[in-house]
Amino acid sequence: MPSTDPNKYILHPFDPLTIPEALLTAVCGLLVVFMMLAMLMVVIYVISWVVQKIDGARKPAAAPVKKAAPKAEAAAPKEETAEKPAPKKRGRPAAKKTGDAPAEKKAPSRARKKASSAAE
């Protein structure tokens, strides 16, 4: 039965990795990831090639023949459609119509005095 003691299958389990060992470990991990991606790309390419060959082996169905429309139907007038109501305007709501005109703004006090003296 295999041993479960880490000292027998790892040379120095508690010693830290040196810089070159750490870089080599990282490069090996990246190599594994990109090799798996390359294998996946090849598998996808092969499957798409097989599907393309199977699909290309089928004979395309004949296109349906379009019949020309009779001239009497083509010359028939189109039905009139009901007019759609105009879209509502968005923005400031309209003033309420109460029958009274809005009061005019009063001029500033100095202007009022000049206007009253000029009117006399």
Domain boundaries, given as residue ranges, for the chain: 6-57
Q: What is the pTM of this model?
A: 0.40
Q: Confirm if 13 and 7 have CB atoms less than 8 A apart.
A: yes
Q: Output the average pLDDT for the chain.
A: 76
Question: What pLDDT shows up at residue 66?
Answer: 75
Q: For 1-18, how does the pLDDT look when each residue is reduced to its tens digit (9 = 90+)?
A: 667 776 677 677 778 889
Question: What pLDDT shows up at residue 107?
Answer: 55
Q: For 27-67, how does the pLDDT look when each residue is reduced to its tens digit (9 = 90+)?
A: 999 999 999 999 999 999 999 999 999 988 876 666 777 77
- What is the rounded CA–CA span in Å between residue 63 and residue 74? 24
Q: Confirm if 27 and 20 have CB atoms less than 8 A apart.
A: no
